[in-house]
Structure 1
C-alpha cells in the first residue's frame, strides 16, 4: 500500500476520533430530548383518560460535565407538559454530595403530585449529605418512598403509587412495598431507580413501572445499551457487585406491567455520552385493550408522538 494512502488513513482515523470525542463530550450530554409517549393502559378507569405523567431521573447534579442549566431545562419541559404526576427516580446528586442548585428540587407546581425514590448515588453520601438531600426533597413536597406505597387523589379517584429502595444495591423490598397496598389493589405507578426490579415484579400489581439508572448505557456500544464487561469494570474500580438490569433503555411489557427505562439526564464516572441523549419522558395515559396479558409486546400499548427521524433515533 502506498505511503500516502497509509498516511491519509491515519489522519482520517485521527480526525474521526476527535469528532467522536467532541460529540460525546460536548454535544450529546447537552442535547436534551423530550420523549412524548401515549400509553394505552388495560382496564384504565375512564376518569384517568388523559392523565399526564412526567418522568425525570439521574440528575447527577454536581457531576463532571453535568450542566445545571440543562437540568433546569429538563424540569421546565416537564412542568410545561402540565403533568398530574411528576416521578423522580433517584440519583439526585452525583456520589450523593448535595451542591448549590438554585432550588432544583423545590417549588414544583401545586397542580402536580411529586413522588420519588432514591438511587445508588443517593446512598453514597455521608450521613450529613443524606440529611441535606432529605431536607431538600421534603422542602419541595416530594413524597419519597422507600419500600412503601402512597395513595393520592387523582381526578376524583384514589391512585396507588409504589416506590422501592434502590434495586441495584439490593435495598429493594418489593414484597413489603406491594403489601402496603390493599390485597386487591393495582398500583397505577411503581417507581424503582434501577430496572433490575423487573426480575421481581409480581404479575398484575402495577400498571406502569418507571426506572432509570442505566443512562441508556451512557456510552452505547451495543444497540441494547448493555455495557460490555460491566461486572469486570466494577471490580477494577473496587466497587461492590450490583444487581444488573434486565434491559437498559426503552419500553418493554414484562409480567403484566409496562416498564419504562429512561436515559436520564446526567452522567456518572465519565463525563461522556455516546448515542444516548439525555431524556425527559412525558407520558399521557389512555384506555387500552382489556386483555393485557402478562407476556406481551410493548408496541401494542405505546405510541411515540412526534417520532424522530431515523438518524435522530439512532443518535438517541
Structure 2
C-alpha cells in the first residue's frame, strides 16, 4: 500500500524554505572582540583560527570589520597591561575594556556588550578575590560576597564608558542583584544585564583561556561554575538571576547543553542567549583542517541547532563567517 502521508512533498526546492521552522539571521549573532593592552599590533590566536587580539588603537577597526558582515552586536573582552590579586584593572577608569568601549561607542553603531568578570585581570586567574577555603581545610577559593562589590564597581565603570549591556560571567552568587543595585544607584537604570546564568565548569573553554590569558594559576573553577551533570540546578540558577533583575539569560557552553537551552527557554519568558564557546569552534576547525568535515556547513548547522533549541541570541566565534553566508 502506498503511503498517504508523505513528508517529502514539503522538502522540494521552492517549498522547503517556506516551511522551514527555524531561521537564523546575522542580527541573532554576537561577535567577540579581544582587546589587548599589552600589544601595539594584532596578534593571531593559534587555537582559534581567524581570531586575533587587537590593541586598543585597533578596536574600532576590528568592530567595523564585524559590522560589515551584517553582525550588529559585539562583546568586548580585555587583556590588561597588569594584573593583581583583586583584578583592579577590571574596574579602572582607564582599563583596557573601558578605553575600547569609549572608542567603539563613539565611532561605530555597534551594540556593545561588556563581559564583566575578573579571570583576565587577577594574577591567580580566578573569577574574584580569594580567601581560605574552610570547606577543604586548606587552600584558597573565591570569596563570594567581597567579589560582589567589585563586580558592581566594574559594571558601573563599563556603563560609564558607554557599554549598552552588562554581561556578568563569574557565577558569583548574588551577582545580578549587586550589579543591578550598583547600576541603578549610578544612574544606569536603562542598562540591561545579560547574565551568564547557567555556566558550566566545562572542558570546552581551553582556547578562550589562551585568547584572554585567563587560565587559573592553580586548581579549577568547580566551586563556582556548575557541574556538567546537573540539569535542575540550571533552572535554580536562572530563576535566582531573574528574581534579581536579569534582563536576558545566558547558557554556556551551547552545543553540549542544548537540553539546558530548551529547559531555560520553556521555563522563562526572558530572552535566552547561548555561548557557542571556543572549544566548539576550535574542534570544527581542526576537523576541517583534517578534511573530515565541511567547515561552513557544520558551523551553520551548529548555529541552527542552537537556535532550534530555543536560543534567541548566539554568542559565537563563527559570527562573521556565518553572517556573510546568510
| TM superposition score normalised by structure 1 | 0.38
Highest RCO, 1 vs 2 (Cα 8 Å, sep ≥ 6): 1
Q: Which has the higher helix share?
A: 2
TM-score (normalizing by structure 2): 0.37
Q: Is the strand fraction higher in 1 or 2?
A: 1
